[in-house]
Amino acid sequence: DGGITQSPKYLFRKEGQNVTLSCEQNLNHDAMYWYRQDPGQGLRLIYYSQIVNDFQKGDIAEGYSVSREKKESFPLTVTSAQKNPTAFYLCASRSPGTGGNEQYFGPGTRLTVT
């Protein structure tokens, strides 16, 4: 079955540690995205990548980093510089083009930093 996987579902870290969230897709999509979801707020874009070896900052990129070495994979690192890292993180992908192609979302990772 085609889709997006994110692992793990729940992640716990101590303050000051970097942590990497996994996102893998087998939809053959070029574009991939990372969103953050906080209570009472909609999803906000952290980073996006249109193609392998290229990525761009979204609206709230500070304290995060990404890589895109393979088409299928777009891992997100939450660094110790991120002031409020506890949140729900969603990865998405989309086929390219200017049309109304929808974004497909993964199941998300809940990160708790104490």
> Which residues in this chain contact other proteins in the complex, by CB under 8 A?
31, 33, 35, 40-45, 48, 50, 56, 58, 88, 90, 92, 94, 96-98, 100-103, 105, 107-108
- State in angstroms the smallest separation of the CB of 98 from other proteins: 5
CA distance linking residue 25 with residue 93, whole number of Å: 8
CA distance linking residue 96 with residue 3, whole number of Å: 16
Task: State the CB neighbour count (10 A cutoff) for residue 98.
Answer: 5
CA distance linking residue 44 with residue 47, whole number of Å: 10
Closest to 111 measured CA to CA, from 83, 78, 81: 78
Of 50 and 65, which has the nearer Cβ to other proteins?
A: 50
- State in angstroms the smallest separation of the CB of 80 from other proteins: 26
- State in angstroms the smallest separation of the CB of 86 from other proteins: 15
Of 13 and 44, which has the nearer Cβ to other proteins?
A: 44
Of 8 and 96, which has the nearer Cβ to other proteins?
A: 96
Of 31 and 80, which has the nearer Cβ to other proteins?
A: 31
- State in angstroms the smallest separation of the CB of 61 from other proteins: 13
- Judged on CB neighbours under 10 Å (0-12, 13-18, 19+), 44 is middle
